[in-house]
Amino acid sequence: MQVKSLRGKNFIAISDFTKEEIVTMLDAGFALKLENARGEHHHILQDKTIFMMFYNKSLRTRNSFETGIFQLGGHGIYLDTNAVYTPAVKGQEQAFATERLDDVAKVLSRYGEAICVRIFGDPVGWVYGAANNYMREFARAAEVPVINMEDDMYHPCQGMADLMTMQEKLGTLEGKKVVISWAYSPSRKKPISVPHSMMAVSSLFGAHVVLAHPEGFDLDPAQIANAKDNVARYGGSFTITHDMNEAFKDADVVYPKCWPSPKFFATAEKEADWKAQDELFDANKGWICDEKIMELTNRDSIYMHCLPCDRSFEVTDAVIDGPHSVVYDQAENRMHAQNGVMAVLMNG
């Protein structure tokens, strides 16, 4: 393949790229990780500035990006959208408080070399897809690459880190059972981006992907269709179950995580129905990843989580702090995987 064609591209969803392109960026991340381990400097982004625009809180994303950018010789600028004139799409502007998103994107394109954006939930009134629409609008208006630091549909940087972690731990995904499972949490206001991106990456390499959740917590049908397309093309399988035990049985990878049910989210026509959401949650408090259910998995299975996790709800301390857990390696891989993405999209 030719990598030059990747230069200048946006990085919004795993499914925007071919498998070969994903592998190229992943391999670049592995190479940079190894150089980093050997103490070699790689100032690929020298004198380049990258804007990190956050509508939402962040620990890992912000710090893995800002640290990674610095390692690559560049400078990351953390922007809290409340400290700038908050970028708003046409029709949602408010004089001297917001600024037309296009203007923000075009102006920042004149100063720096990429724009990273995180947006989901409250800033778009919990209308499913509205945050991804902001992301696409940034990409349309900007003259530099736009990198998705998580929206309401996708978290592709997390997907790349998850893929890197699975490859490191399992060697290959071929024939492995990879379980993406719902888990209970008292905190319901979350995007569903992480399971989507995990489905997108884990379905590319011949794994048996199992999606497990209580009824009512269906993921986006388009994302499921994409995962099914992938297994049809690249091997493996894709199944859905509503039985957590069945899912965990003989699993090589388990990724139990709380996500909400977008069917209760707001739409252009109606308000969000948080009460119905709560009832559905309360009915499924048993979906927790504890040592007992981990016994169903394979001996060398890995427990994954993007963090922050809601300890005692999604998972017990014994599991996340136990021998199956790879969560800190996974968090570290955020930085190396993103460095690979930036190196490929922004070099030259």
Smallest distance from the beta carbon of 293 to a copy of itself, in angstroms? 21
Beta strands 302-303 and 208-212, pairing class: unpaired
Smallest distance from the beta carbon of 240 to a copy of itself, in angstroms? 26
Alpha helices in 126-253 (DSSP H): 130-141, 156-170, 193-202, 221-234, 244-248
Element (H, E) at 257: strand 253-257
Residue 60: strand, helix, or coil: helix
Beta strands 208-212 and 177-182, pairing class: parallel
**285 belongs to the binding site for a copy of itself (CB under 8 A):** no
**Residue 23: exposure state from Cβ atoms within 10 A (0-12, 13-18, ≥19):** middle
Determine which residue in the list 19, 23, 30, 62 makes contact with a copy of itself, applying CB under 8 A.
62
Q: Quick one: 1 or 107, whose CB is closer to a copy of itself?
A: 107
199 and 184 Cβ atoms separated by less than 8 Å: no
Counting every residue written for the chain, the total comes to 348
- Specify the stretch interacting with a copy of itself by CB under 8 A; choose among 48-56, 144-152, 197-205, 213-221: 48-56
CA distance linking residue 59 with residue 312, whole number of Å: 21
The amino acid that residue 323 corresponds to is P
**63 belongs to the binding site for a copy of itself (CB under 8 A):** yes
- Specify the stretch interacting with a copy of itself by CB under 8 A; choose among 20-28, 70-78, 214-222, 227-235: 70-78
**282 belongs to the binding site for a copy of itself (CB under 8 A):** no
- Specify the stretch interacting with a copy of itself by CB under 8 A; choose among 16-24, 103-111, 260-268, 277-285: 103-111
CA distance linking residue 58 with residue 150, whole number of Å: 10
Determine which residue in the list 15, 71, 203, 223 makes contact with a copy of itself, applying CB under 8 A.
71
Q: Write out the two tokens for 10.
A: 């946006």
Q: Write out the two tokens for 113.
A: 């070399």
- Specify the stretch interacting with a copy of itself by CB under 8 A; choose among 50-58, 131-139, 221-229, 261-269: 50-58
247 and 179 Cβ atoms separated by less than 8 Å: yes
**54 belongs to the binding site for a copy of itself (CB under 8 A):** yes
Q: Quick one: 190 or 242, whose CB is closer to a copy of itself?
A: 190
Q: What is the DSSP letter of 128?
A: T
Which residues inside 301-320 make contact with a copy of itself, applying CB under 8 A? 307-311, 313
Q: What is the CA radius of gyration of the chain?
A: 20
Q: Quick one: 234 or 274, whose CB is closer to a copy of itself?
A: 274
CA distance linking residue 66 with residue 79, whole number of Å: 12
Q: Quick one: 123 or 236, whose CB is closer to a copy of itself?
A: 123
Of 297, 298, 321, the C-alpha closest to 309 is 321
Which residues inside 73-92 make contact with a copy of itself, applying CB under 8 A? 75, 77-80, 83-85
How far from each other are the two terminal CA atoms of the chain, in whole angstroms? 18
- Specify the stretch interacting with a copy of itself by CB under 8 A; choose among 12-20, 22-30, 54-62, 269-277: 54-62
Residue 315: strand, helix, or coil: strand
Site string for a copy of itself, 206-245 (x = CB under 8 A): ----------------------------------------
Sign of CA dihedral 156, 157, 159, 164: positive
**99 belongs to the binding site for a copy of itself (CB under 8 A):** yes
**172 belongs to the binding site for a copy of itself (CB under 8 A):** no
**331 belongs to the binding site for a copy of itself (CB under 8 A):** yes
Residues at the interface with a copy of itself (CB under 8 A)? 41, 46-47, 49, 51, 54, 57-60, 62-64, 66-68, 70-71, 75, 77-80, 83-85, 93, 95-96, 99-100, 103-104, 106-108, 110-112, 185-187, 189-190, 307-311, 313, 327-328, 331-332, 335
